Chains A and B, each alone.
Chain A
Amino acid sequence: MPLDAARIHARLAERFGDAVSAPAGQGRDAWLEVRPERIADVAVFLRDEPDLAFDCLSNLSGVDYPKQGHIQVVYHLFSYRHRHWIVLKVNALRDDPVVPTVSGVWSHANWQERECFDLLGVRFTGHPDLRRLLMPEDWPGHPLRKDFVEPQEYHGISTSRESLLKV
């Protein structure tokens, strides 16, 4: 039976207390904030409890919020068994973003976390193979951070060129 965000929160609150915040947002996009250090335990609980049965990590995104000083990791979870959704948000410190991995819970998380590490610099502790995924291994910095400055050149290749239009 599909559960709504309030019911899912109630189930999580029994076990994790105030490590999981009350739901915010509407409908499909209703989300719960989870303390970073508890996310892996929350993930196992959500996957293994029969009435929750979140068997699928649909999406994992990282979002940089420089004004708030954190990088947010957003997990979109889906249950094929019950056809319900929940969104989890984890705020990690921008200066040193560390979040426990959920790659042992959903295999899909392995590559998603590698991408998030690559583009936003979130270190997922316990990840079996946390290498860059899309950028070259020696690329400086993490491009999806808001304060990322594109290097002028990469191995002697210029990243910009003069405009062909002479004004």
Chain B
Amino acid sequence: MGLAGFEVEIERSRNGGGVVTEDMTLNMGPQHPSTHGVLRFVVRADGEVMKSAVPDVGYLHRSIEKIAEKVGWHGFIPYTDRVDYVAAMFCNHGWAMAAEKLAGIEVPKRAEYCRVIADELCRLHSHLLSVGSMAMDIGAFTPFTHAIREREYLNDLFEELCGARLTFHYMRIGGVGWDLPPGWAEKVLAFLDRFEAMIDEYNRLISYNKIFVERLANVAVITAAEAIDYNLVGPNLRGSGVRYDVRKDDPYSVYPELDFEVPVGRGEMGTLGDSFDRYIVRMEEMKQSCRIIRQALRQIPKGPVIAKVPRNFKPPAGDCYVRLESARGDMGWYVVSDGTAFPHRCKIRTGSFSGISIIEHVSRDLMIADLVAVIASLDLVAPEIDR
């Protein structure tokens, strides 16, 4: 496979009349405003229609899995923030869950509630960026400014909670770093009151806008069987009509105590599993997240927020695989301990990784401009692919 770069590959084919057509090889990225990070596509196109779009990744590879083997169990938590810096809470949470499972640590109830509240706020944080930048990629700039404005309030809430606005380093093995600050819960509720109305406004502004719908409906249809075969997860999987959510079907933390629904794609604007379904699932999930946060703030018990965990943490030898529902879906952590102060191996399987691997399959016969919509609808975040 020639991935060398800018050369124009000329493939000559003759039909009966002797007309010669040329396939164009285009290089999209690595620096491209719609690629949500640094990634590259090698597009073979016949005019405006793509014959293939082959992703080339690795530009953001930082060997995070190798770093895990060098820095020890506690020391790795800030690095997990960088796995997916658009939804860092989930990476904190996944690593903590894996370490706790290996060492058999029971997390205090209050800490679990703090985690769920932080996770769901982070889901809003991530989905806002996803749907906002999706509208922008398609050519509507105003919705992006709306989404970023709401996200700014969330940043303030996170800053008050843990001191950081993006890479949170909030969770610890055995619990969370800090309890909810005084008066913070009221601020979250005030934000939710405002934000739930904003979701409706957002739907009026863009979701059912005719041009927006036309750009997404029936584009890059992924069937349920294909989605499972490529291990698509989260909103990408549910967009294809598969009602599966780790929070519901393989529950962890305190999710069994909380009441919420799992929205799935219905093909309401076109075919089930098209780009619009993946988009609208995220919009509906944000409403559910608000519902979860309200319940969690009501039910949160008093008590400690971290279990006793030795500073020199050495979980017994063994391996475990934990999963949690991140903003981009089922995120898997395979962690091997050899009983020492350093993990033997940490493999992170992320939603964007499987999302990008299906692009070559779904991009055939799409227009070049649709590739941008497909990337956005799969909510690909490059650092999470490359780690």
**A interface list, Cβ under 8 A from B:** 25, 28-29, 55-59, 61-64, 74, 76, 80, 83, 87, 106-108, 110-112, 119, 129, 131-136, 143-144
Contact = CB atoms under 8 A, between A and B. Distances in A.
Nearest to A31: B319
Given A83-B249, A108-B354, A129-B1, A134 B58 contact: yes
B65 A144 contact: yes
Nearest to A63: B345
Interface in B291-343: 318-321, 323, 330, 332, 334, 336
Contact of B357 (A64, A108, A135, A144): A108
Contact of A87 (B321, B330, B386): B321
B186 interface: no
A57 B229 CA distance: 8
B357 A111 contact: yes
A149 to B, nearest CB: 12
A107 B344 contact: no
B349 A58 contact: yes
B65 A55 contact: no
Main secondary structure of the interface of B (DSSP, over half): mixed
28 contacts: A25-B319, A28-B321, A29-B318, A29-B321, A55-B225, A55-B229, A56-B231, A58-B231, A58-B323, A61-B334, A61-B345, A61-B349, A63-B347, A87-B321, A106-B231, A107-B226, A108-B229, A108-B230, A108-B231, A108-B357, A110-B357, A111-B353, A129-B1, A134-B57, A134-B387, A143-B63, A144-B66, A144-B345
Contacts of B32: none
Interface of B: 1, 57-58, 61, 63, 65-66, 225-226, 228-231, 242, 244, 249, 318-321, 323, 330, 332, 334, 336, 344-345, 347, 349, 353-354, 356-358, 361, 386-387
Across chains A and B, which 4 residue pairs bring their CB atoms closest together, nearest first?
A: A61-B347, A108-B231, A134-B58, A111-B357
Given A28-B321, A29-B320, A134-B386, A74 B334 contact: yes
Contacts of A55: 225, 228-229
Contacts of A131: 1
Contacts of A29: 318-321
B344 A63 contact: yes
Nearest to A106: B229
Contacts of B230: 107-108
Most buried by B among A55, A59, A64, A83: A59
Contacts of B66: 143-144
Contacts of A59: 321, 332, 334, 347, 349
Contacts of A106: 229, 231
Contacts of B357: 107-108, 110-111
B332 A76 contact: yes
Given A63-B345, A136-B58, A107 B229 contact: yes
Given A59-B332, A110-B357, A143-B66, A133 B58 contact: yes
Contacts of A133: 57-58
Given A58-B231, A63-B345, A134-B57, A107 B321 contact: no
A131 B3 CA distance: 11
Contacts of B321: 28-29, 59, 76, 87
Contacts of B387: 134
Given A135-B58, A144-B66, A80 B231 contact: no
Contacts of B61: 134-135
A94 to B, nearest CB: 14
A86 to B, nearest CB: 11
Contacts of B242: 80
A30 B226 CA distance: 27
A62 B344 CA distance: 12
A56 B323 CA distance: 14
Contacts of B225: 55
A64 B319 CA distance: 13
A155 B174 CA distance: 44
B144 to A, nearest CB: 30
A58 B65 CA distance: 18
Contacts of B334: 59, 61, 74, 76
A76 B1 CA distance: 30
Contact of B361 (A58, A76, A107): A107
A36 B323 CA distance: 27
A57 B231 contact: yes
A134 B58 CA distance: 4
Contacts of A64: 345
A57 B66 CA distance: 23
Nearest to B386: A134
A153 to B, nearest CB: 17
